[in-house]
Structures are given as C-alpha cells and as structure tokens.
Chains A and B, each alone.
Chain A
Amino acid sequence: MRITLRVWRQPGPAASGAFETHTLESVSPDMSFLELLDVLNERLVGEGKSPISFDHDCREGICGACSLVIDGQAHGPDDETTTCQLHMRRYRDGATITVEPFRAQAFPIVRDLVVDRSAFDRIIAAGGFVSVNTGSAPEANSLPVARSLAEEAMDNAACIGCGACVAACPNASAMLFVAAKISHLQLLPQGAPERETRVLALVAAMDREGFGNCTNHYECGAACPKGIPVASIARMNREFVRATLRASPPRAATTDGA
C-alpha cells in the first residue's frame, strides 16, 4: 500500500506548529497505525531528521498512552479502538491521512503529537478513590455486591484515561472521564461513605483544570475506545445535584485526639 501522512509537527509547547507531509510506499496492511509511524521514524532517523514524537506504550489498547486525532477523529475511524489497535488494512491504497495531537486547553502540547494529560491525575488525586488504608480492609466476601451492579461498575472502571473524550468534545469537556470514575465508585457499596464528598471534589477539580462543560454532543461516547456509556454523565449530574442540595456541607475530618 502507498500511504501519505500529513502530520502535525511542533517543536515545543510555546513554538508554533505546522503540518508536514510524508509518503510511504509498500505499507503492509497488517501494520498497526503506530508501526506505520515507527517505519516513518526509522526513515527520518536515517535521513538525520528529527523523528515524530508520539506517546505509546503497551500497544494492546489498555495503557491509554496512545492518542492522536486521525482524519478528525480521536483514535481514528474504528469504533471502540485505540490508535495502537488500528490497522492499515482499514485504509485503501493511496490514502492521505491527517494526524494531529489531542487538542484541548487542559492538555498542553509537549512536542509534535505528545500532550500533557496530567490534569487527569490531579482530578483523581482530588477524590477518585475509596479512602481505605492498607491492612484495614474487611474480609472480601463480607460485602456482597449484586452481579449486575458489579458489571455496571466494571463498564465504567474500564476507562483507560486516554483523553479521547476531551479531544472529541467541542467544549473539551472531561465529563465522560470524571463520570466514569464517579459511576464506578458510586455503584459499589464501597463507594457509599464518600458519595457526596467525592462528586463535589471531582467536579471542582475538573473545573479548576480548565475543562469545558457538557452540552450533550455525545462525541465523547462515540470516540471512547472502551465504550464508556454517556448515560454515566447523567448519573454524575444527578449525584452532583444531590450532593449540592444535601443540607450540610461535608465536614472536615476531626482528629481522634490521639
């Protein structure tokens, strides 16, 4: 196959960027999209040019490192597929493909196609957890969880934190990401004690990081490589309203006087 790539190049966060065009001959249909970039980079190194920077790691669709907006779609054209799992057999011979980074104010560009998604980590640090110290857990089977609830929690816990939802959203909203974490923990009895504090903390952190709001485009759900249901956003909104309307604001932890 012959493939032409129009790739976004940008030397650093403050520099201005531009598209660069490269044509590759004899591309194997069995190559993954990232392997295509590998081949191009080998050529660039051979020519003494600067290779294209892109994030990747596991290359099996689970670590969430790979990104890329391919022909205008986050993670490319296939449903529920990360860029690393997109294969060239999806394209026709002679195709021209445009490759850009995930673009969002909260995801500043590091270099070329690499962006900084540490805002997601800071959101989780604000409350995306169950507060349980090592060693203090009760016997695992002392807390039965209905299978259907466990499955629904798992549907949400499957989020890989790649940020495609943000890249796809016209508002660069992170609501699907945040809603997935809230849903995962809210659906399980383990999450119940921090039900209100968690949703308030996560929403505040999301706003602080500069993500936009949801205006129901559902582009996030269409782009999500793990099929996180957009209905989770409705659950998050419901939980947020509920927590906001509860009479008492969350109380600060009191010391035990020890």
Chain B
Amino acid sequence: MSVLDSRTPAGPMAERWTRHKFDLRLINPANRRKFHLIVVGTGLAGSSAAASLAELGYRVTVLCIQDSPRRAHSIAAQGGINAAKNYPNDGDSVHRLFYDTVKGGDFRARESNVHRLAEVSTSIIDQCVAQGVPFAREYGGLLANRSFGGAQVSRTFYARGQTGQQLLLGAYSALERQVGAGRVKLLARREMLELVVVEGVARGIIARNLVTGEYERHAGDAVLLCTGGYGNVFYLSTNAKACNVTAAWRAHRRGAYFANPCFTQIHPTCIPVSGEHQSKLTLMSESLRNDGRVWVPAEAGDGRAAAEIPEEQRDYYLERKYPSFGNLVPRDVASRSAKEQCDRKKGVGESGMAVYLDFRDAIARDGEAAIRARYGNLFQMYERITGENPYRVPMRIYPAVHYTMGGLWVDYNLESTIPGLFVLGEANFSDHGANRLGASALMQGLADGYFVVPATIAAHLAGRKLAPLASDHAAFDEAESAARERITRILAVQGKRSADSLHRELGLLMWNHCGMARERAGLGKALDEIRALRSEFWENVRVPGDSKDFNQTLEHAGRVADFLEFAELLALDAREREESCGGHFRVEHQTPEGEAQRDDEHFAHVAAWEFQGQGATPRRHLEPLNFEVVHPSTRSYK
C-alpha cells in the first residue's frame, strides 16, 4: 500500500485553480501542431475536449464506437445541468455549489476538484448558449432555472427533458467544425482494445475497425479516455447498450489505478422490469419528483388497484420519514427507501418490485395542462413503454443502476497513474465522491473537456521529453498481438452459451450482491460466483462468425469478458470498504434508524487499485481525503 499524490495545489481553496493555471507550463501556439492527441469517446467529455484542443492548435484523432459521434450516451441525459449563476437570486454561489457537491458526495470527493468544478460551471453555460444550445427561457428572454434533485436553490439549466441531447449536439457541432477544418480526424465505429505504453508513458492505442475487423495503431503524445461509466456490469441499467468498461479496464491492466469501483449510483425513478426479455431500463427524469408523490399501500400484500386504495391507507413514506426534504431526498436515500418498502412486501404492480409516483394531487392543484407542459414528453415515454396513462393512474417506478462515480484514478490534472493518459468525464472517479447529485454529470463532463484538460495537458506535453514515435515500435507489436490473441481466443471457444446470456447472469448476481444493499458474506459469495462465471465464459461462450467483418456478437462478447474481470474488482472494493457512504450501503454499517453510517476515521480516503496480473489479488492504495473547508457531517434530510 502506498499513498497517492493528487498534485493538488496549495493555497486558499477559491484561488487554487487560478493559481494552478498560472503555474502550469504553456505551449507556444506554433508548437501545438507538433503534438498529436488521441481522444477515445465522443460524449460530452470527449467531444468538448477534442474540439477545444483542436481549436488551440493541437492535432487530434478522435474515435467512437457508435456510427456517429452524436450518438454517445450523454445524449440520453434528461434533467439538466447545474451552474452557480444565481440568476434566480435565491442565494446560490460557487461556494454553495461546491459545498452541496462535497456534502452530496458524502465526503468522499477531493475538495479541490469539486471547487474547480463549481467555478467553471458558469463558463459552461456561457459556452453552450453561444453555440446555440436552446435552453429553456423565461418570457423576458432570459434563461430559466429549476430546482433539481433535492437542491434548495434553482441552479439547473435545461432544454425540455432533453438537456443531454442538446449539450451533446452543441459539443458535437464544435467537434464537427474542427473535422471540417481538417484539424480533427474522426474515426467512427472503432473500439479501443489496448493502450500502448512506451517507457512508462501512454503513447497510443490499438483500435479495431468494427466494420472491417481490421486492427489499427494510433500513435500520439497523449491519450484521453472519455469512455463513460461501467454501469452495464449490472446488465440492466439505464446505460445504452454499447456502454462498457473495456477501454478503462484495458488501461487498468496496463497500470492505471482504478478508484472506488464500488461507488455506483442507483437512480430511484426508472420504469420497472417487465419480463425476462428486458434489455435495458429507462429512466424517468427525477424532475418528476418535484410534483409527483411517492407512495405504497400501508398494508403489506395489498393487491388492490391504486384508485381503490383510500387516502388513509396509503403510505407516503418519503414525506413521512423525511419531512423537510420529502419526495426530494437524494437519489441514494430515495432508492434505498423504495427497496425497503418492496422488501416489506408493499411493492406494487405485477412483480411487486415497484412503488407509485403519483401526480393526482399536482394535477388537481395545477391542472392537467400545466403538468403536461412540464413533463409531457416524459409522460408520453412512460405510456409508450408501459401502455398505461400516467395522467389517470400513478406511474410505477423502481430504482435502477444509472451512473458510476468510481473510475480510473486521476490527479488534479486529470492524469492517471500512467503519465500521458488522461481520463475525463464519467470514466474518471474524481468529483462526485460516493454519490452524484442530479444535473452534475453533464457539468463535470463539459468542465473536464472544455476547461480543465485544455489547460492541464500542457503540464504533460511541455514537462516531459517525448521522443518521436512510429507505430511500428515494438510496444505496438506487443499490444496488437495481445488484442488479436484475445479475440481469437473468444472465437475459438465454440461452446453453447451466448455472450448475452452470460452477461445477464453476471448482471443479476451483481444486482443481488453488489446492488442497493451489500454485506460481507454476500460479497464473498459474489466473488466466488464471478470467478466461476468467468471460467464458464472461457469454456462455454459461443460467438458465431469471424473477426474479419462486422460482427456485433463478437464486439459484445469482448466487452462481457472485460466486465467479468472488472466485476471482481467492484465486489472486492465493496467488501474492503467497511462503512456505508453515498451509493455504497453496507448492511452491517447503519444507524438504528437504518441510515447509512460513515466511518470517517478509517475510510475518509480514495481506494485506488493496482492491477497485479491475471488471477492475482490487486493492491489497494490510498489517497487520504482532507476536508479543509467543508467539515464532514452526517447527512440529514429529515
């Protein structure tokens, strides 16, 4: 075990980022074109980084697995993006956004990073508006804000229920502008399979062209991973089908530490599972909790339809348990409470694994037209999926895996433990601690890409002597043959089970043992089952076709193989963290009232895992967290 250096600048919190930018090396504009940067992923972080770096004059190659960079999963974010503009004059400030984010993360995030995030939040809104992002506006023509996810100030900017789409299309348009100008080379339908490390520095990647099956070598002066989170280790999640851990995991195997993998976020308002065919879960924006009331029947096993249950036989359990926050408690608290009700057999719907989110009172108060104006597209989406009309009957909702706070460890410059490998957005671990607040993911992805990495990457490019490198270097030979060998091995198994069925099985065991409630014995069982399932994969997977053309089954099988390795690390991290905090709830560590019990004395740290070879136990390193400004307290939403 060693202690990691986060390279956090010293000085007063509010001045650190400004000072750090001044202390960073600069690169002469004429010299920037000599550097070639490789960006993997085109979500908010990747698109904004690639565009901004190309504008500065760097040569950029950007790769994405979808057929177009515009389809990255950031597109699906609904609710909004936070910024400390204080337009509503309700007492918001950079300091308050910083404070709320540190507290919301249950004191497991690095203060300096969070402060920087809050600082640049306002510039993000300026940038997006200038690009033509059509944010919601007031009648006077100025930007509208709403309160979101339990925040007590209205700091969320939004574009109907499609904020992620509009922000991504803004970043995508900036990226395409650079493509058109010849400063960015865009490669779609490519998957990164290996990181190439030369003399300890990340200098390239091996990618596979998903249409032709060809292996490609990309050499450069830095690699930026903007490849999103690992929520699909649970199979069912709100993530898109292509979301995966492969790029991050391959980098981890080459020396990048993986931090806090057990910090996963379960979103309380998703459409429940309808059957075995279920391929993914759909989120209903948590803005719905502003007007919807969450309830279950007061009696266990009450099988009546919602309309037949009289008012006094309904339990509005969030309002009852948390009178001051009510239905707007943070995501982790709302999710756990829903599970608790269903565990007590009070769940509703056919499966009993759902609670009601009821708009009856809001419709009576504001009228159906007002509710339709606020949530029309969400109600429509719900009806399309379930066949039920939420204006007439309450929605049924249940928690689902949504976001992963853990990720590759990065220092203040967003550089991983491999020099030259930068990690942005959801793929890194840095800003959300053990729980992410609503409308903060979009903020972080764009902060990293537009404003942080364009400044910090100079520390690497100017500070290290990078010898010219051609893609026929031995390190590329070795990495390419590792990638080829892996795919050949998968195809050679020719067993009886599909990769999808193995993925489903992995997801279910992760959900049962590493989901909303975790305990030591269950985690130990999960570790055994994951190892057994991994053997099953390598003995019994069946992938038709070959690797020489478009083969979606092969792509998926490769990602499942990596999830089967990564899952073990997640379970291990969850077992070692003997406390409850944020999205990580250990049954052994709760207060008498059933709330999460943190252990600041022993666990106020980031756990960053170092790969020790296949089958060997990884090493757990620590980065202690010092809270200089926001002093750890117990979150209370009562």
- CB of A36, distance to nearest CB on chain B (Å): 8
Interface size on A, residues (CB 8 A): 82
Chain A 13-33 interface residues, beta-carbon cutoff 8 Å to B: 28-32
Query: Complex: how many Å from CA A64 to CA B522?
Result: 40
**Taking the complex as formed, is B277 at the interface, i.e. its CB lies under 8 A from any CB of chain A?**
yes
**Taking the complex as formed, is A252 at the interface, i.e. its CB lies under 8 A from any CB of chain B?**
no
Chain A 36-68 interface residues, beta-carbon cutoff 8 Å to B: 36, 38-39, 41-42, 44-46, 48-51, 53, 55-65
- Please state if B126 and A140 are interface contacts (CB–CB under 8 Å): yes
Query: Complex: how many Å from CA A131 to CA B76?
Result: 25
- Please state if A50 and B544 are interface contacts (CB–CB under 8 Å): yes
Q: Tell me whether chain A's interface is mostly helix, strand or loop, or mixed.
A: loop
Question: In the complex, which of the residues A85, A138, A140 has the most CB atoms of chain B within 10 Å of its own CB atom?
Answer: A140
Residues of A near B76 (CB, < 8 A) are 58, 60, 62-63
- Please state if B132 and A188 are interface contacts (CB–CB under 8 Å): yes
Give the interface segment out of A151-159, A167-175, A233-241, A242-250: A151-159
**Among the listed B141, B166, B180, B211, which residue makes an inter-chain contact with A126, where contact means beta carbons less than 8 Å apart?**
B180
Q: Which residue of A lies closest to B69 (CB)?
A: A121
- Please state if A134 and B450 are interface contacts (CB–CB under 8 Å): yes
Q: A134-B48, A190-B129 are in contact. Are A87 and B71 (CB under 8 A)?
A: no
**Taking the complex as formed, is A2 at the interface, i.e. its CB lies under 8 A from any CB of chain B?**
no
Q: Which residue of B lies closest to A205 (CB)?
A: B180
**Taking the complex as formed, is B160 at the interface, i.e. its CB lies under 8 A from any CB of chain A?**
yes
Q: Which residue of A lies closest to B171 (CB)?
A: A134
- Please state if B67 and A28 are interface contacts (CB–CB under 8 Å): no
**Taking the complex as formed, is B603 at the interface, i.e. its CB lies under 8 A from any CB of chain A?**
no
**Taking the complex as formed, is A206 at the interface, i.e. its CB lies under 8 A from any CB of chain B?**
no
Q: Which residue of A lies closest to B87 (CB)?
A: A141
**Taking the complex as formed, is A145 at the interface, i.e. its CB lies under 8 A from any CB of chain B?**
yes
- CB of A151, distance to nearest CB on chain B (Å): 8
- Please state if A59 and B241 are interface contacts (CB–CB under 8 Å): yes
Q: A62-96 CB contact bits vs B (8 Å, 1 = yes)? A: 11110000000000001001000101010000000
Question: In the complex, which of the residues B75, B123, B130, B172 has the most CB atoms of chain A within 10 Å of its own CB atom?
Answer: B130
Query: Complex: how many Å from CA A58 to CA B71?
Result: 8
Residues of B near A140 (CB, < 8 A) are 85, 125-126, 128-130, 143
Q: B165-204 CB contact bits vs A (8 Å, 1 = yes)? A: 1100100111011011000001010000000000000000
- Please state if B279 and A38 are interface contacts (CB–CB under 8 Å): yes
Interface residues on B, range: 35 or more
Query: Complex: how many Å from CA A174 to CA B139?
Result: 34
- Please state if A120 and B68 are interface contacts (CB–CB under 8 Å): yes
**Taking the complex as formed, is A133 at the interface, i.e. its CB lies under 8 A from any CB of chain B?**
yes
Q: Which residue of B lies closest to A159 (CB)?
A: B169
Give the interface segment out of B92-100, B380-388, B407-415, B426-434: B380-388
Q: Which residue of B lies closest to A185 (CB)?
A: B132
- CB of B13, distance to nearest CB on chain A (Å): 23
- CB of B369, distance to nearest CB on chain A (Å): 16
Query: Complex: how many Å from CA A161 to CA B85?
Result: 32
Residues of B near A118 (CB, < 8 A) are 67-68, 188
**Taking the complex as formed, is B240 at the interface, i.e. its CB lies under 8 A from any CB of chain A?**
yes
- Please state if A87 and B387 are interface contacts (CB–CB under 8 Å): yes
- Please state if B55 and A62 are interface contacts (CB–CB under 8 Å): no
Q: B52-88 CB contact bits vs A (8 Å, 1 = yes)? A: 1001000000000011111101011000000001010
**Taking the complex as formed, is A218 at the interface, i.e. its CB lies under 8 A from any CB of chain B?**
no
- CB of B547, distance to nearest CB on chain A (Å): 14
- Please state if A128 and B176 are interface contacts (CB–CB under 8 Å): yes
Q: Which residue of B lies closest to A132 (CB)?
A: B130
Query: Complex: how many Å from CA A5 to CA B162?
Result: 33
Query: Complex: how many Å from CA A114 to CA B549?
Result: 13
**Taking the complex as formed, is A129 at the interface, i.e. its CB lies under 8 A from any CB of chain B?**
yes
Q: A144-B142, A145-B137 are in contact. Are A38 and B166 (CB under 8 A)?
A: no
- Please state if B134 and A150 are interface contacts (CB–CB under 8 Å): yes
Residues of A near B512 (CB, < 8 A) are none
- Please state if B129 and A64 are interface contacts (CB–CB under 8 Å): no
- Please state if B179 and A150 are interface contacts (CB–CB under 8 Å): no
**Among the listed B52, B277, B543, which residue makes an inter-chain contact with A35, where contact means beta carbons less than 8 Å apart?**
B277
- CB of B426, distance to nearest CB on chain A (Å): 15
Chain A 82-124 interface residues, beta-carbon cutoff 8 Å to B: 85, 87, 89, 110-111, 114, 116-118, 120-121, 124
Query: Complex: how many Å from CA A38 to CA B277?
Result: 8
Q: Which residues of B contact A (CB under 8 A)?
A: 48, 51-52, 55, 66-71, 73, 75-76, 85, 87, 123, 125-132, 134-143, 159-160, 162, 165-166, 169, 172-174, 176-177, 179-180, 186, 188, 211, 240-242, 274-275, 277-280, 282-283, 381, 384-387, 450-451, 454, 496, 498, 500-501, 542-545, 549-550, 552-553
A-B pairs with beta carbons under 8 Å apart, 30 shown:
A39-B277, A45-B543, A53-B550, A55-B67, A57-B66, A57-B240, A57-B241, A60-B282, A62-B76, A63-B66, A64-B71, A110-B211, A110-B550, A121-B69, A121-B70, A121-B176, A124-B176, A128-B173, A129-B132, A133-B52, A134-B454, A136-B130, A140-B130, A140-B143, A141-B142, A157-B134, A157-B169, A158-B165, A190-B131, A191-B132
> Which 4 interchain pairs have the tightest Cβ spacing?
A144-B141, A137-B130, A125-B180, A129-B173
